[in-house]
Amino acid sequence: MVFYDGKAKWTSPMDVKDKITEIKNMEEYLIKANYELINLSNIKEETIINMKKALGVILLTDKPNVRIKNAEELLKIINEEIISKLPEEEKEKFDKHRNAFIELFGKRTDYEEIEERFEELKEMEVPKMFNTLEEIAKRDREKAKLEGVKEGERKGKLEERKELIIEILNQRFGEDFDKSLEEKIRKENEETINQIKKNILSITLEELKELLK
């Protein structure tokens, strides 16, 4: 049995004998050894959740095409729809294999805090562990949102600088500063814009055109 959790289509032969390339005159001695393929991409989330098994936690976390939007939602579904409804025997199984879940969730989300707090997380009671993971996911989302706002503000200020530069250059060069140069400035990166700004009162039209090539 082969368990596959990749995103690409499974293309390997389904029988071991098909992997052997030099079989001339040896066909009768080959052992037939085909296998069953379990492709996680083809299993619905609802099916995994309804298993009510500790294995379902791993499968849902590892599923490559899961429709769940973000890490917080994934944790909430696992905690409320699977963990809380597991029979005691399955809860014990999950407790024994929780380290695998933490590692898998950490790889899926790439949260540095999970790696940093791994030893602490694996010693927590399961409910507290999930609460802590949800807090980590929330902090990471808020951090990403804040960084997005800062990046948006930076880009906004860059656009303002470009328009100011265009206005000044229009005043300096008049009709010689045509629309094509304006568009090139609007598409330029921050480094070039800063260079133009630094030399805006001394730069010649030829130097500007060379810089904007």
Closest by alpha carbon to 159, among 185, 180, 177?
A: 185
Quote the Cα angle for 5-11-15, to 5°. Answer: 100
pTM: 0.57
As a whole number of angstroms, the distance between CA 205 and CA 177 comes to 8
Q: How confident is the model at residue 27 (pLDDT cuts 50, 70, 90)?
A: low
Amino acid 150: pLDDT: 74
> What would the pLDDT profile of 138-195 be if each residue is shown by its tens digit?
888 888 777 776 777 777 888 888 888 888 888 888 888 888 888 998 888 888 888 8
As a whole number of angstroms, the distance between CA 85 and CA 88 comes to 9
Of residues 46 and 36, which shows the higher confidence score?
A: 46
Number of C-alpha atoms within 13 angstroms, CB side, residue 47?
A: 8
For the chain, what percent of residues have pLDDT higher than 90? 22
Q: Are the beta carbons of 169 and 188 closer than 8 angstroms?
A: no
- Amino acid residing at 16: V
Residues facing residue 203 across a β-bridge: none
Token look-up 């032969």 returns 13
